Amino acid sequence: MVQDFFLLMRSELMLILIIFGLLFLKLGNARLKNETVMNMVNVVLIATLAMGFLVKDTGMIFGNMFHTTDLIRLEKNILTLGTLIISLQSYQWLKAHKHAMEFYLLLISTLLGMFFMLSSANLLMFYLGLELSTIPLAAMVNFDLHKKQSSEAAFKMIVSSAFSSALLLMGISWMYGIVGSVSYSAIAAAISGSPLEILAFVMILAGFGFKISAVPFHLWTADVYEGAPIPVTSYLSVISKGAILFVFITVLYSVFRSMGDTWYYMLYILSVATMLIGNLFAMRQQNMKRFLAFSSIAQVGFILLGISGQSVASSTSLIFFVLIYIFSNLAAFGVVSLVSSAYGKEKVDDYKGFYQTNPLLAWTLAIALFSLAGIPPTAGFFGKFFLILAGAAKGNWLLITIAALNMIISLYYYLRVVKAMFMDHNAAPLEKINTPLSPKIALIICIVGILITGLYSGAYEYIYSLVS
Amino acid sequence: MNLNWLIVLPVVSALAILPFSQLKQVRSIAAIGATLQLLLSCVLLYVFMQDPASGMSGSLAFESSYAWYKPLHIYHSVGVDGISIAMIMLTAIVVLAGVLISWNMEKMSREFFFLLMLLSAGAYGYFISTDVFTMFFFLELAVVPKFLLIGIWGSGKKEYSATKLVLMLMGASALVFIGLSGLYFNNASGNLSFNMSELAANPLSVEQQKFFFPFAFIGFGVFTALFPFHTWVPDGHSSAPTAASMFLAGISMKLGGYGILRVATTIMPEAAHYYSPYIIVLSAIAILYGSFATMMQTDLKYINAYSSVSHTGFVLFGIGMLTKTAIAGAVIQMVSHGLMTALFFAVIGMVYERTHTRMVDKMGGLLKTIPFISTVFMIAGLTSLGLPGFSGFVAEMMVFIGSWENGGTLHRVATIAATASIVVTAVYILRAIGKVIMGPVEHEAYFEFKDARWNEKTAAIILVAAILVIGITPFLINHLITPGTEAIMNKLVANP
């Protein structure tokens, strides 16, 4: 039992170790440099990542509330990797920040919440994890303490997530009323698709919709992304979204499997609306963060399309896509963050002539955007087309055509940034940026990930073997 | 012989360019890479012709297959027949000529040659793929570098053209993808498969073919300037830098025709019969519209771009006729147009570099001052016009003869209409040649022009030689492609 506890919860325990370590340091008034704190946390994160890959095990503890499989462990590793990259990227922003330690406290707490969420075998456990991951996140959004916009964003975030949590809880309690249990397996065995169950499911779906910012639940996204500090924005857009998506697919595929035909149409509508609205709004954005926010909404549309396929290929493609999306989006945010912290500029127009002065960063951003747009040989091509292919298994060709057309719209606005960097003339482009070591490492990880993950099929096959 | 060298070689030369920044180093690496590509293609041609067992029997040669995304049944499988080899030779020749033409590309030379090599990798990969997903991968790989090539090094309203071209071509490939996934899920074998021969052996039901054929056909058709989706051609070609124009018109536009032959007609033969009248009407419109539109142009690049619409119309026209001679003609037209248009763009680039104008009415009498370039200009023009002895004649002749083999009334009428374009072509070509090459010398400054440098000469000579080989000894290329076209034809005849 004790052995199980340590083995199955080792990732969580590592994070708890970081949290308490930081707390003690803080309480003991340790005068550490921000750099030291960052390096320490990064090392422990790497250790967590390594431990995640080390031993394989499956099991349930805490009265079947918490379970782990190899797949869940892989999902946790993906999230840890993403968090590590973000932690490396926030170097420049955090090194002069007064509250670096608190930032890490909050960051690791949210990650811990996500881990519990992923491992949940029970709606209550899931809700617990969700809240643990959301509330610190709102505090992180507010982390540019002197900026009004940041506080506004945090307020929006907390209100909207409270609202969505309420919806979710409503759905969960109805489900409990119908089934008499909150455990996944009990619900899966009991539901039959009665109208009340569908109503409860819609509540739960709406709750999820808020968290993954699917249209029409997306309205908080752009403002929050714009107001939050860039590392937090990137964390919101990839890690927190990725975690929710992982859980979403578990909930849909194992808990509500028997209602598959019902939710297929819900996902269909959500997917079309999300792709379309996300893309159309992204076209007009001038601020890079807002632009990436809307583009991430559009990406969720493709993800929903892939999920609607209801097959092994769907789950595999989803996890594969999230992995690639972490690399691509973090590469993009990494460059935006460097530019923003060096010059405080975040407009697309500011990037005019960027290539003349910063060729490597320009290529990095271009490759990241190509990957987001789904252009070969980047991994994004594979991620996106496998999602569409997974969705196409249902034979709904109208949906596939809409998705394909949306890819073209998205290509237009991604290329707009590339055009600004490479083609537009600018008498005074942004000066050369000196990239410190740790963001550089982060960008290299991202670019290597973008180039390798797709061309070399190992990652996909590994995920596939775990899913099936 | 392992066909993957054709992908490895350009990728390696592209990567080898990256560490260098000086024009001299970069261009030499690119030139070595392109020369090796051409040598490799020649070796491939030789081995293919020598090996009767695998080569000329109509089945694919040098096949190999690697599992790529195994759970999804995606393989990187390659193989060639005569048609692919003709396309590979075309690619190798045009790429080498393009590198030579861009010999003095001062602006961001490293990036320029890198993208050019990447494009060629895409084209080779496309022509050797026998797995449609891999083929699609390479098709898209050959699109986006064009955005950068046109947008950075182009002229005129380059950003507009680059964006338009990329969006239209990517839209086209999205349609292709829908068609391909239709094949993937619905083929008769019941297995998910992207493999070309497996798909051809287990065709879709006729109803499904009728549904998915338009996706694949229009998708590939946009690459081949299918009317009314040809509008990217004039803008894209005329804004692009010379080498990119050569690649675009010479190779990119052939990706579509090749894809239609491989995917649309071979895998969905019944639908090809069903849609044949539509194809014929659209391509006849493209042929006529293209040639009349060319008459109105005064910019040399626009002349060649619009005439490309007309000429590649013959490719679709030949394919749409669904007869053996016409399809062979379409294939030869692809090669011929590729060479001819590359030569034309190359020579326009040379003229522009000297006169600094591309307007026909602002030039004159170039033959007296730069005879080599003018002669090449004339050869390109006469090939385009379809003069016997050059490749254009052979191709168009075969398309027309093949068209008469199809007895449908509509097909006959369309053939007669399309023939009219020959006259129009003669009008615009002769007018351009007459004004630019002949006549009095327009400016005093023209006498100071230097004739072609060695790199320009080499590029032109390679292209002219290839045109002449096809024009004078058409049976060689016909012999090469016949097994391939026969295989396609057998499919079409067996599934009326």
pLDDT tens string A269-328: 999 999 999 999 988 888 888 888 899 999 999 999 999 988 888 999 999 999 999 999
Is A382's pLDDT higher than 80?
A: yes
Q: Spell out the SS3 assignment of chain B.
A: CCCCHHHHHHHHHHHHHCCCCCHHHHHHHHHHHHHHHHHHHHHHHHHHHHCCCCCCCCCCEEEEEEEEEHHHCEEEEEEECHHHHHHHHHHHHHHHHHHHHCCCCCCCHHHHHHHHHHHHHHHHHHHHECEHHHHHHHHHHCCHHHHHHHHHHCCCCHHHHHHHHHHHHHHHHHHHHHHHHHHHHHCCCCCCCCEHHHHHHCCCCHHHHHHHHHHHHHHHHHHCCCCCCCCHHHHHHHHCCHHHHHHHHHHHHHHHHHHHHHHHHHHCHHHHHHHHHHHHHHHHHHHHHHHHHHHCCCEHHHHHHHHHHHHHHHHHHHHHHCCHHHHHHHHHHHHHHHHHHHHHHHHHHHHHHHHCCCEHHHCCCHHHHCHHHHHHHHHHHHHHHCCCCCHHHHHHHHHHHHHHHCCCHHHHHHHHHHHHHHHHHHHHHHHHHHHHCCCCCCCHHHHHCCCCCHHHHHHHHHHHHHHHHHHHCHHHHHHHHHHHHHHHHHHHHHCC
User: Using alpha carbons only, what angle is made at residue A375 by residues A74 and B258, rounded to the nearest 5 degrees?
Assistant: 125
Query: Between B68, B151, B185, which is nearest A422 by CB?
Result: B151
| pLDDT of A52 over the 90 cut | no
Q: What is the mean pLDDT of residues B251-271?
A: 89
pLDDT > 60? residue B55? no
Average of per-residue pLDDT across A399-405: 90
Q: What length does chain A have?
A: 468
Q: Which residue of A has its CA nearest to B219?
A: A404
Structural domain boundaries, residue B442: 5-494
Tokens 């030949």 belong to residue: B318
Please report, to the nearest 10 degrees, the dihedral formed by the alpha carbons of residues A193, A199, A204, A205 taken in order: 80
Residue with tokens 């619409």: B309
Is the minimum CB–CB distance between B18 and chain A shorter than 8 Å? no
For residue A313, list chain B residues with Cβ-Cβ distance below 8 A.
71-72
d(C-alpha B204, C-alpha A260), whole Å: 28
Q: What residues of chain B lie within 8 A of the CB of A375, using their CB?
A: 140, 143-144, 170
First and final C-alpha spacing in chain A: 28
Interface check for B240 against chain A (CB to CB < 8 A): the answer is no
Residue range A86-109: mean pLDDT, rounded = 87
Name the residue with tokens 């194992």.
Answer: A254
User: Which chain B residues touch A393 with a CB distance below 8 Å?
Assistant: 185
User: What integer pLDDT is reported at residue B365 of this predicted model?
Assistant: 81
Nearest CA among B243, B308, B242, B239 for reference residue B96: B243
Q: Are residues A370 and B144, on separate chains, in Cβ contact within 8 Å? A: yes
Burial letters for B385-414: b for 16+ Cβ neighbours within 10 Å, e otherwise?
Answer: bbeeebbbbbbbbbbbebbeebeeeebeeb
Inter-chain residue contact A381 with B140, CB threshold 8 Å: yes
CA distance A275 to A303: 10
pLDDT-derived band at B56, boundaries 50, 70, 90:
low
- CA nearest B67 in A: which residue? A457
* Interface contact B197, partner A, CB < 8 A: no
Interchain pair A381, B178: CB under 8 A: no
**Residue A29 clears pLDDT 80, i.e. is over it:** no
Cα-Cα-Cα-Cα dihedral sign, residues A245, A250, A253, A255: negative
pLDDT at B139 over 80: yes
- Tens-digit pLDDT profile for residues B390-438: 888 889 889 999 888 887 888 888 898 888 888 888 888 888 888 888 8
Query: Measured between CB atoms, does B10 come within 8 Å of chain A?
Result: no
Task: Answer for the pair A275, A406: CB distance below 8 angstroms, yes or no.
Answer: yes
Within an 8 Å CB–CB cutoff, is residue A444 touching chain B?
Answer: no
Query: Chain-wide mean pLDDT for chain A?
Result: 88
> Average pLDDT in the A240-268 region?
89
- Tell me the chain A residues in contact with residue B185 when contact means C-beta distances shorter than 8 Å: 392-393, 395
Does B179 lie at the interface with A, CB-CB under 8 angstroms?
no
Angstrom distance (rounded) from CA A340 to CA A350? 10
Whose CA is closest to A390, among A294, A259, A258, A264? A264
Residue A1 confidence (pLDDT): 65
Q: Which of A376, A401, A405 sits opposite B137 (nearest CB)?
A: A376
Q: Do B140 and A404 touch (CB under 8 A)?
A: no
CB nearest to B151's CB, from A316, A405, A423: A423
A353 neighbourhood in chain B, CB within 8 Å = none
Question: Using 50, 70 and 90 to split pLDDT, how confident is the model at B53?
Answer: low
- Chain B CB within 8 Å of residue A401 CB: yes
Angle among Cα A362, A367, A368 to the nearest 5 degrees reads: 100
A377 and B141: CB-CB below 8 Å? yes
Reported as a single tens digit per residue, the pLDDT across A167-210 is 999 999 999 999 888 888 888 888 888 888 899 999 999 999 98
- Neighbouring CB atoms inside 10 A of A461's CB total 18
Give whole-number Cα distances, B191 to A464, B135, B199, B200, B448, in Å.
18, 19, 10, 13, 68
Backbone angles phi, psi at A274, to 5 degrees: -65, -45
Of the candidates B70, B140, B151, which has its C-beta nearest A461's C-beta?
A: B70
Mean pLDDT of A36-65: 81
Residue B144 in contact with partner chain A when CB distance is under 8 A:
yes
pLDDT for position B52: 59
Interface test with A, best of B144, B152, B187 (most A CBs within 10 A): B144
Task: Report the residue of chain B nearest A418, measured CA to CA.
Answer: B148
CB-based contacts of A189, cutoff 8 Å, min separation 6: none
Q: Does the beta carbon of B76 lie under 8 angstroms from any beta carbon of chain A? A: no
The pLDDT of B283-294, averaged and rounded, is: 91
Q: φ and ψ at A368, to 5 degrees?
A: -60, -45
pLDDT of residue B65: 86
Average pLDDT over residues A389-401: 88
Give the closest of A392, A408, A419 to B171, CB-based: A408
Dump pLDDT digits (tens) for B61-99.
Answer: 788 888 888 888 889 989 888 889 999 999 999 999 999
Considering its fold, how many domains does chain B have in total?
Answer: 1
The alpha carbon of residue B9 is apart from the nearest alpha carbon of chain A, in Å, by 16
CA of residue A255 relative to chain centroid, distance:
22
Provide the mean pLDDT of chain B: 88
Q: For the range B151-155, what are the long-range contacts, defined as Cβ-Cβ under 8 Å and sequence gap of 24 or more?
A: B151/A419, B151/A422, B151/A423, B152/A422, B152/A423, B152/B107, B152/B108, B152/B111, B152/B112, B153/B105, B153/B107, B153/B108, B153/B112, B153/B240, B153/B241, B153/B244, B154/B239, B154/B240, B154/B241, B154/B244, B155/B239, B155/B241
* pLDDT, tens digit (0-9, with 9 covering 90-100), for A33-47: 888 888 888 888 888
Distance from C-alpha of B471 to C-alpha of B477, rounded to nearest angstrom: 10
Taking the Cβ of residue B313 and every Cβ of chain A, the question of whether any pair is shorter than 8 Å is answered with: no
Q: Does B68 touch chain A (CB under 8 A)?
A: yes
Residues 321-360 of A with CB under 8 A from B: none
| pLDDT at position B362 | 84
